[in-house]
A and B are shown apart, each in its own frame.
Chain A
């Protein structure tokens, strides 16, 4: 990551964030469940990959 500059992700190792109240109905940490729902509802899966840093 050191060389891959992305604004806001530059210091991703140190500048993470804590848990938050979401406005969108996120399924937490269950890819299989999300894929099943996506196939049933014929919608794509939007994934947020984050770390509690």
Chain B
């Protein structure tokens, strides 16, 4: 998103609508902000009303430049506290409830908005997306799956329909395995996600994400051959997409490349593109951190440690713990117990220097457990 949409020149004319703030979750200057406004995923976009300091509007995930402008409009309406019991008023209320973290109430408002809306309502797609998202957020997996299956076939082909299918599939996968409706819902929604890959107007990020969602679905169903085939399809897509992309846009999808190459049983296929990313983006710690994982999978432990060291030279913030954790697994596979111990100790010591809101407690607990197991 940063590498593509926010650079779009057409956005410059919207500069006067907001005060623009970018928050790097890894930067310790942002500890106080992140304590006040906790985040669940990146990217998250939120609009804060300076009158009361509250989040009036927010969403997770990348959007296109055109969709971004629609969200600017919605954010301004949310700030204006538009009310009313027509579809637009209910929609705005749903958006506000989401910003307040009230997923269940937000889902209800979306449902009411959809019930009142005229057939050709321009916000229908976004409301459908909002509804299934909020049902998922409030753990209503059956309602989420069923509403996705009801709405998806009637929606116009595009990003909203793809998102409804993918969210519905995710809900079905998280429903209790004993539910009798679950298996057929997974089949139906998997088919819908597969069909959405052909839609026009999706971002490359979305197209990769949809393929990854399918990979996830097959993995949940323990379909090993299916996962492998889907991983190969994702790799093919990434390689074709890379041909017309800037280095930044290409590298932004490198994470998918790593997961797909490993899932396909062919980690070596990610070596050349990751090496290229490291050459083209010398200040970025991600390419060497990812290369370390690939070398580890290939059993080239010294190359893996060298790549990990290059990443550690550039890295800052909580993400350093993840890279140190991965480094410990390289030593482990190499059979170097002293290396494992020292790396875990370094990681825990570093965690102690991070400001409290940025200290990833679960990661620290995991590292401490690993270290404790080393010292019986």
Q: Do A and B bind each other?
A: yes
Chain B residues with CB below 8 A from A6, complex form: 41, 60-61, 133, 167
Q: Tell me whether A52 and B255 are in contact (CB under 8 A).
A: no
- Interface residue? B143 (CB, 8 A): no
A5 to B132, CA, bound (A): 10
Nearest chain B CB to A12 CB, angstrom units: 5
B75 → A minimal CB distance (Å): 7
Interface residue from A7, A22, A30, A44 paired with B49 (Cβ < 8 Å): A44
- Distance between Cα atoms of A7 and B193 in the complex (Å): 11
**With contact pairs A6-B60, A44-B79 given, residues A12 and B41 touching in the complex (Cβ less than 8 Å):** yes
B22 within 8 Å of A (CB atoms): yes
Q: Is B208 at the interface (CB under 8 A from chain A)?
A: yes
Query: Which residue of B has the minimal Cβ distance to A35?
Result: B50
Type the 1/0 row for B1-18, where 1 means its CB is closer than 8 Å to any CB of A.
111101111111011111
- B47 x A46 contact (CB < 8 A): yes
Most buried by A among B21, B45, B203, B210: B21
- Stretch binding the partner chain, chosen from B24-32, B82-90, B112-120: B24-32
Residues of chain A from 8 to 30 with CB closer than 8 A to chain B in the complex: 8-30
Report how far A29 CA is from B25 CA in the complex, Å.
9
Say whether B297 faces chain A, with CB atoms less than 8 Å apart: no
Q: A18-B3, A31-B33, A45-B18 are in contact. Are A23 and B11 (CB under 8 A)?
A: yes
Q: Shortest beta-carbon distance, B30 to chain A, in Å? A: 6
Cα distance A13–B75 when bound, in Å? 27
Asked whether A11 lies within 8 Å of B209 as measured between CB atoms, the reply is yes
In the bound complex, residues from chain B placing their C-beta under 8 Å from that of A38 are 19, 48, 50
Q: Which of B14, B19, B37, B210 is the most central at the interface, judged by chain A CB atoms within 10 Å of its CB?
A: B19
Residue of B nearest to A14 (CB): B255
CA distance A34 to B11 in the complex (A): 19
Whether A53 pairs with B248 at a CB distance below 8 angstroms is no
Q: How far apart are B190's CB and chain A's nearest CB, in angstroms?
A: 14
> Per a CB cutoff under 8 Å, which of B7, B24, B60 touches A51?
B24
Cα A19 to Cα B212 in complex, Å, equals 24
The answer for the CA separation of A9 and B293 in the assembled complex, in Å, is 21
**A1, A23, A26, A35, most chain B CB atoms within 10 A:** A23
Report chain A residues within 8 Å CB of B248.
Answer: 17-18, 20
In the bound complex, CA of A26 to CA of B72 (Å): 15
Contacts of A35 in B (CB 8 A): 48, 50, 53
B23 at the interface (CB under 8 A from A): yes
Do B22 and A26 touch across chains, with their CB atoms under 8 A apart?
yes
Shortest C-beta distance, B50 to chain A (Å), equals 4
Residues of chain A at the chain B interface (Cβ within 8 Å): 1, 3-31, 34-35, 37-39, 41-53
Interfacial residues, chain B to chain A (CB-CB below 8 A)? 1-4, 6-12, 14-27, 29-30, 32-33, 37, 39-50, 53, 56, 60-62, 72, 75-76, 79, 133, 136-137, 159, 162-163, 166-167, 170-171, 174, 203, 205-206, 208-210, 212-213, 216, 248-249, 251-256, 258-259, 281, 283-286, 290, 319
Among all A-B residue pairs, the 3 with the closest Cβ atoms: A14-B255, A5-B170, A17-B252
